[in-house]
Amino acid sequence: MPDAPSLPDIAAPLLAWFATARRPMPWRETSDPYRIWVSETMLQQTRVDQAEPYYRAFVEAFPTVNALADAPLDDVLKRWEGLGYYRRARNFHRAAQIVRDDHGGLVPSDYDAFRALPGVGPYTAAAVLSIAFNRPHAALDGNVIRVLARLVALPDDTTRPATRRDLQGLADALLPADAPGAFNEAAMELGATVCTPKSPRCVVCPIQAMCRAYAEGRPTAYPVVSKKAPVPHRDVAVALLYDVAGRLLVQQRPEGKMLGGLWELPGGKVEPGERPEAAVVREVHEELGVEAEAGPLAARIDHAYSHLRVTLHAYPCRIVSGTPVSDLPLRWIAEDEIDTLAFPKATHKVFDALTAAQRTPTLFG
């Protein structure tokens, strides 16, 4: 790791720049640690413009940590619907209950106590505690990593844990004791608006004079990252099962799994060499214990998660024998109840595709 520029050199120009360039955001208008925590939890893996309406609706529905703790998990997931990474919402809900029960409803300002809460990693702890309580912890997110890697022209792969530790050490060394929250926000803001991944605007950068990547004339050569493996793809067959009243069967995903607690259409992975319409019949039998027939394909949609791409094939199915039973919660829902439950984005895409095609799969035969 090359030597860091001396602390005053970067902190002073960065903070001066931030004082004028700072974008208005609703969570920047509050010093409430809970609301700052909400924003930092949402902003993990979510862009600012996407998170903003969710933030407003979330703090309106759950204005305090105790209000969040007292709310049913289903309500919290519904408010989170569309943001993805639902583990964040479940952990946040559990953390709020611990704050209510063990900390008198006050967000802990002590690093170890806050860091011990579910879902609070080093980044969230540093960001919330520095911004809300002015605690001296450097927050290292993707934007800050890019800025620092360029600042020192770091030749090491920034995806490696050892490099992350080095960068954390560098960020800690640069952090001014009298303004850690503002410094963290300024570094993140610089990465988000000036030192961007593909087209950094070095000409307006407040730390250009200290930047080694700029001096080398190749800012975008940093940060160094190893090539990622291609994202795998999976075909999934799902069933549109209706009862005689025209209600649709949905089931809740198990806690502790990806998208846990959300509702979805019954179905599962298409095995190699298997046709999707055969897969949906097999899955319905395995999951619900009923014999079914699949009708013609009603919708096919693609959806990409960060680590997985899926194609959902949706078939109207008719139960030939048996009554659906499952270890997981099942519900028959009318169309207007779709808005009362939280579904993964991919399931919403199926609903949207069915609506757009004006196909209303019903019991057939």
Query: Which of residues 221 and 308 has its CB atom nearest to ligand SF4 in the complex?
Result: 221
Smallest distance, Å, CB 191 to ligand SF4?
Answer: 8
Smallest distance, Å, CB 225 to ligand SF4?
Answer: 16
**How far apart are alpha carbons 99 and 218 in whole angstroms?**
47
Smallest distance, Å, CB 11 to ligand SF4?
Answer: 14
Query: Which of residues 147 and 179 has its CB atom nearest to ligand SF4 in the complex?
Result: 147
For residue 306, give the nearest of 92, 87, 48 by alpha carbon. 87
* 337 flagged as catalytic: no
Catalytic residue among 40, 81, 189, 264: 40
Query: Which of residues 216 and 352 has its CB atom nearest to ligand SF4 in the complex?
Result: 216
Smallest distance, Å, CB 30 to ligand SF4?
Answer: 29
Query: Which of residues 205 and 299 has its CB atom nearest to ligand SF4 in the complex?
Result: 205
Smallest distance, Å, CB 178 to ligand SF4?
Answer: 23
Query: Which of residues 154 and 319 has its CB atom nearest to ligand SF4 in the complex?
Result: 154
Contacting residues toward ligand SF4, per CB under 6 A: 147, 150-151, 194-195, 200, 202, 205, 207-208, 211, 213-214, 219
Active site residues: 40
